């Protein structure tokens, strides 16, 4: 419903989106930002197209008009992430100059570059797509004619409009530009970099407006009030986002319902389990000499602090079983000795008879023995009399086995006439009988033996000496440096040298390789040509279609017999590629078959594409036509070209191409390129650049290491480059047309090919009427993506009715 409403609104242009004024926050005035009048070699202020603003003359090729880092950051901040913007410039470009008007790039990635080629009469817009692919949109138009022109390139999502002198020249639907520009990108004016793309001529009013239809500020009479393409894309994107939110919400509700169904009749509470006893939340208890509480399922304890008891007369402080602190106990006097409740004493007379007494209620009471003493299996000399019992025991008797009160971190130790408690190693007593003990933090108290290159970590009853990172253990208390290079536990590239050092290692690329040591790439002195890749020092792997040690030779698939085209087509060799192109007199029927089978005859007579004079009759032939003279007439054999008469056998040079020579032959015009004779001192160097011997006409390759003579060509990053009289001009490689729903550019190639599997395609012809149904039953537009239900890293995308899922590399 929302989409239909938007389309209706688009039909009725109900509100103006732009007036004559522009908010300064949405304007980037390049001249003002760069303070162009101050100290740029090769740039001088001159009279412009009008006197309302400054104009500057760009000349020479030794200039470097680059925005300072802080200025570049400020300008790019306005442009970053935008899908609607307009580039405006008023210019007068020298004849045949090919130069860059402005360029925003990072390394080899051009995020926004506007270029005018006088050599090929083209305006080019370079940018990166959302799929992180380089894209060049070419508009056939000549700005380099020495005349003033107002130029604007307006981008609104996938919609681009080129205006020249307030006339709409081109309007196209393209892939959406990706304007997530890095912070360290550079901004150049009048050149691509310090070596290439020098614009020669005058520029005025160079601006970037971060809004749609910015051409209105340059040409107010073109005022538009309709919604932009970006508005439509924004609405579609919002619908996709709402679909995704709906799917996620449905998934969460489904999971919540499952959990709720399983929780019926349940009450959940986090508990603590200690020594087989379960304690509930916030329940407290005493564990020996500690007070403990169950908090959020975790046991938290504090040591009990025992006060000194103030006992009344007839009592004395004493420990009671199960209690940590002393309590006041009743006492009995026995031969001037105080005994607490329950204590026993054995008294022996001279005859050896024994009487056992016990303290009860402040008085000593006789204990009657009901069982005889056990028989001992040791000699009498090894028998020991005890003070708390009448029966003797053998020396070495295990008193601890009879029961003891040693509790927390305390061990029972047998003595000759009894037992006592002793704290375990690494613990200290909490009371004087050593029945309860606490851990000693040796690290905090400095009671450890950890040596250099270690850190002390406390453990219950002890401590550990942990090695610092990059060190290995010698013994329990010390560590030494770890030679990560010898052990192989390093991060150096296989083509790097590893150097061990204290606490780690460093990497350095081997000779013949370059990089930071962690990643090293082979160096070929920049001599791998035509997109070749250097895989080891001075060893290039060529892209498909090229050969040679430096990939300098294009494989001519046509002459080498690799290709067999239909007889209606001719094989055309391209740098790194080829295609079967329809011969003169034929055109493709729209199927674009690879071998030219789809070429069909053009009926030049019916379509008016013939040059027969009025006194002759056009007769169509297979692959051509014939101008026949009716019987009984005396025909001139003249030709009609562009509504002008050319006489039979007349020879002339084309007005728009001075390098082509044409002639009229019995009603038919024949044209050919001018034959170059470099021995002729009057040879036209424009048409025959290969005849130009001047050093100033040579060009430098993009890598700065190779030079080319005027007229020479090469391929770089899927672009055809040519040197003409000292200037480098590059344009996208010519690729055969592909008319299919799904295409892919194979690795190492530059041209797209048709494929059947949409999931392997990197470019699709999106049709929003072809939707997909996801796992929640929700309709998805073509082009939308979502995370698959029940996963975190499986990303799915709708491609014209087909669902394609893959692991999101950002999760890895």
Which tens digit of pLDDT belongs to each residue from 696-734? 888 888 777 788 888 888 888 788 888 887 888 888 877
Reported as type and span, the H/E element at residue 603 is: none
Side-chain-side CA neighbours of 506 within 13 Å: the count stands at: 3
Q: At which residue do the structure tokens 């950002």 appear?
A: 810
Phi, psi of 34 (to 5 degrees): -85, -5
Q: How many other CB atoms are there within 10 angstroms of residue 362's CB atom?
A: 12
Strands 553-554 and 327-334: unpaired
Least confident piece of the model among 35-44, 83-92, 370-379, 646-655 = 35-44
DSSP 538-587: TEEEPPTTEESTTS-EE--TTTTT-----TTEEEEEETTEEEEEEPTTEE
Q: Minimal CA–CA distance to 124: which of 96, 145, 102?
A: 102
pLDDT at 4: 42
pLDDT at 17: 37
pLDDT at 727: 83
* Distance in angstroms (rounded) separating the CA atoms of residues 803 and 808: 15
- Banded model confidence at residue 223, pLDDT cuts 50, 70, 90: low
What's 495-530 look like in SS3? Answer: CEEEEEECCEEEEEECCCEEECCCCEEECCCCCCCC
pLDDT at 457: 94
- Banded model confidence at residue 243, pLDDT cuts 50, 70, 90: confident
Q: Minimal CA–CA distance to 197: which of 738, 734, 702, 751?
A: 702
- Residue of 549 and 248 predicted with greater confidence: 549
* Distance in angstroms (rounded) separating the CA atoms of residues 629 and 637: 8
pLDDT digits (tens, 9 = 90+) for 260-308: 776 666 667 788 998 889 999 899 988 888 889 999 888 888 888 888 8
- Overall average pLDDT of the 454-466 stretch: 92
Please list the helix, strand and coil fractions of the chain in percent, rounded to the nearest 5, in that order. Answer: 10, 40, 50
Q: How many other CB atoms are there within 10 angstroms of residue 503's CB atom?
A: 12
Q: How many other CB atoms are there within 10 angstroms of residue 31's CB atom?
A: 19
| DSSP helix/strand/coil, 618 | strand
User: CA end-to-end span of the chain, whole Å?
Assistant: 39
| DSSP helix/strand/coil, 28 | strand
pLDDT at 443: 93
Q: Minimal CA–CA distance to 719: which of 576, 605, 579, 593?
A: 576
Per the CB < 8 A criterion, the answer to whether 62 and 696 are in contact is no
* Distance in angstroms (rounded) separating the CA atoms of residues 233 and 213: 16
* Residue 676 Ramachandran class (φ > 0 left, ψ -120 to 50 alpha, else beta): beta
| DSSP helix/strand/coil, 178 | coil
The CA-atom distances, in angstroms, between 674 and each of 366, 677, 681 are 141, 9, 15
Whether 51 shows a pLDDT value over 80: the answer reads: no
- Overall average pLDDT of the 396-418 stretch: 89
Helix residue ranges per DSSP H, 274-349: none
pTM, entire model: 0.52
User: CB within 8 A of 633, min separation 6: which ones?
Assistant: 615
Q: At which residue do the structure tokens 């279609």 appear?
A: 545
Which residues, listed in sequence order, are joined to residue 620 by a DSSP beta bridge?
625
pLDDT at 503: 67
- Torsion sign (Cα): 779, 783, 785, 789: positive
Whether 363 shows a pLDDT value over 60: the answer reads: yes
pLDDT at 9: 37
pLDDT at 562: 78
Whether 65 shows a pLDDT value over 80: the answer reads: yes
pLDDT at 79: 92
pLDDT digits (tens, 9 = 90+) for 529-581: 777 778 888 888 887 788 888 888 888 888 877 788 999 999 988 777 788 88
Determine the number of helices (DSSP H) and then strands (DSSP E) in the chain. 8, 66
The length of the chain in residues reads: 812
Whether 321 shows a pLDDT value over 60: the answer reads: yes
- Triad 194, 200, 203: Cα angle to 5°: 105
* Distance in angstroms (rounded) separating the CA atoms of residues 515 and 495: 10
pLDDT at 810: 62
Side-chain-side CA neighbours of 183 within 13 Å: the count stands at: 1
Side-chain-side CA neighbours of 341 within 13 Å: the count stands at: 15
Q: How many other CB atoms are there within 10 angstroms of residue 437's CB atom?
A: 25
- Banded model confidence at residue 126, pLDDT cuts 50, 70, 90: very high
Whether 236 shows a pLDDT value over 80: the answer reads: no
Mean of all residue pLDDT scores within the chain: 84
82 token code pair: 């935008």
- Overall average pLDDT of the 771-792 stretch: 82
Q: How many other CB atoms are there within 10 angstroms of residue 184's CB atom?
A: 11
CA 493 to chain centroid, in Å, comes to: 22
Whether 14 shows a pLDDT value over 60: the answer reads: no
pLDDT at 809: 66
pLDDT digits (tens, 9 = 90+) for 173-195: 888 898 999 989 999 999 998 88
pLDDT digits (tens, 9 = 90+) for 87-123: 999 999 998 899 999 999 988 889 999 999 988 889 9
Long-range contacts of 396-402 (CB under 8 A, 24+ apart): none
- Banded model confidence at residue 19, pLDDT cuts 50, 70, 90: very low
Whether 349 shows a pLDDT value over 90: the answer reads: no
- Triad 193, 199, 201: Cα angle to 5°: 150
């Amino acid at each position: 419903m929302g989409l239909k409403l938007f389309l209706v609104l688009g039909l009725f242009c109900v509100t103006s989106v732009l007036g004559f004024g522009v908010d300064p926050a949405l304007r980037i005035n390049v001249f003002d930002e760069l303070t162009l009048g101050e100290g740029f070699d090769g740039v001088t202020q001159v009279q412009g197209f009008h006197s309302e603003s400054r104009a500057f003359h760009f000349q020479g090729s030794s200039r470097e008009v680059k925005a300072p880092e802080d200025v570049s950051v400020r300008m790019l901040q306005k442009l970053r992430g935008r899908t609607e913007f307009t580039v405006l410039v008023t210019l007068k470009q020298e004849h045949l100059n090919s130069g860059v008007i402005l360029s925003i790039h990072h390394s080899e990635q051009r995020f926004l570059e506007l270029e005018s080629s006088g050599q090929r009469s083209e305006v080019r817009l370079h940018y990166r797509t959302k799929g992180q692919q380089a894209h060049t949109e070419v508009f056939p138009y000549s700005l380099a004619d020495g005349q003033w022109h107002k130029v604007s390139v307006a981008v609104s999502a996938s919609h681009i409009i080129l205006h020249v002198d307030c006339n709409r020249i081109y309007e196209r639907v393209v892939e959406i530009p990706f304007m997530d520009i890095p912070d360290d990108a550079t901004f150049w004016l009048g050149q691509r970099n310090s070596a290439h793309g020098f614009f020669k001529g005058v520029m005025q009013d160079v601006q970037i407006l971060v809004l749609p239809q910015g051409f209105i500020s340059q040409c107010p009479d073109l005022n538009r009030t309709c919604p932009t393409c970006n508005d439509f894309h924004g609405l579609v994107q919002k619908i996709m986002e709402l679909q995704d939110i709906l799917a996620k919400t449905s998934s969460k509700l489904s999971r919540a319902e499952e959990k709720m169904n399983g929780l019926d009749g349940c009450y959940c509470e986090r508990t603590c389990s200690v020594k087989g006893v379960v304690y509930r939340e916030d329940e407290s208890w005493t564990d020996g000499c500690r007070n403990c509480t169950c908090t959020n399922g975790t046991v938290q304890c504090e040591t009990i602090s025992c006060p000194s008891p103030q006992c009344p007369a007839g009592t004395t402080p004493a420990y009671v079983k199960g209690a940590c602190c002393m309590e006041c106990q009743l006492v009995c006097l026995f031969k001037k000795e105080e005994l607490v409740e329950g204590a026993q004493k054995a008294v022996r007379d001279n005859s050896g008879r024994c009487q056992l007494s016990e303290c009860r209620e402040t008085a000593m009471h006789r204990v009657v023995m009901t069982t005889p003493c056990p028989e001992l299996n040791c000699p009498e000399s090894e028998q020991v009399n005890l003070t708390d019992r009448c029966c003797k025991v053998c020396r070495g008797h295990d008193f601890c086995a009879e029961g003891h009160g040693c509790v927390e971190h305390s061990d029972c130790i047998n003595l000759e006439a009894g037992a006592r408690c002793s704290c375990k190693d690494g613990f200290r007593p909490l009371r004087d009988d050593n029945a309860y003990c606490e851990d000693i933090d040796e690290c905090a108290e400095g009671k450890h033996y950890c040596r250099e290159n270690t850190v002390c970590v406390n453990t219950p009853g002890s401590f550990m000496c942990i090695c610092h990172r990059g060190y290995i253990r010698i013994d329990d208390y010390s560590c030494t440096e770890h030679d990560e290079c010898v052990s192989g536990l390093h991060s150096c590239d296989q083509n790097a040298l590893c150097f061990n050092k204290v606490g780690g290692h460093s990497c350095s690329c081997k000779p013949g390789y370059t990089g930071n040591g962690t990643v090293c790439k082979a160096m070929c002195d920049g001599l791998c040509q035509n997109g070749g890749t250097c895989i080891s020092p001075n060893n290039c792997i060529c892209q498909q279609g090229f050969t040679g040690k430096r990939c300098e030779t294009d494989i001519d698939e046509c002459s080498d017999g690799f290709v067999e085209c239909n007889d209606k087509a001719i094989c055309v060799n391209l740098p790194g590629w080829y295609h079967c192109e329809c011969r003169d007199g034929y055109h493709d029927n729209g199927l674009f078959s690879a071998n030219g089978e789809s070429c069909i005859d053009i009926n030049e007579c019916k379509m008016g594409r013939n040059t027969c004079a009025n006194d002759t009759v056009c007769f169509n032939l297979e692959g051509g036509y014939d101008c026949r003279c009716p019987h009984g007439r005396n025909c001139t054999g003249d030709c009609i070209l562009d509504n002008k008469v050319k006489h039979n056998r007349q020879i002339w040079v084309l007005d728009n191409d001075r390098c082509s020579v044409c002639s009229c032959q019995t009603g038919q015009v024949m044209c050919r390129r001018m034959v170059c004779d470099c021995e002729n001192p009057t040879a036209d160097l424009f048409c025959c650049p290969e005849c130009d011997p001047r050093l100033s006409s040579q060009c430098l390759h993009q890598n700065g290491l190779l030079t080319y003579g005027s007229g020479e060509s090469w391929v770089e990053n899927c672009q055809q480059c040519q040197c003409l009289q000292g200037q480098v001009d590059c344009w996208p490689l010519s690729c055969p047309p592909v008319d299919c729903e799904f295409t892919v550019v194979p690795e190492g190639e530059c041209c797209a090919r048709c494929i059947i599997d949409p999931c392997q395609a990197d470019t699709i012809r999106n049709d929003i009427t072809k939707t997909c149904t996801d796992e929640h039953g929700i309709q998805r537009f073509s082009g939308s993506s979502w995370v698959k239900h029940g996963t975190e890293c499986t990303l799915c995308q709708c491609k014209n009715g087909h669902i394609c899922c893959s692991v999101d590399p950002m999760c890895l």
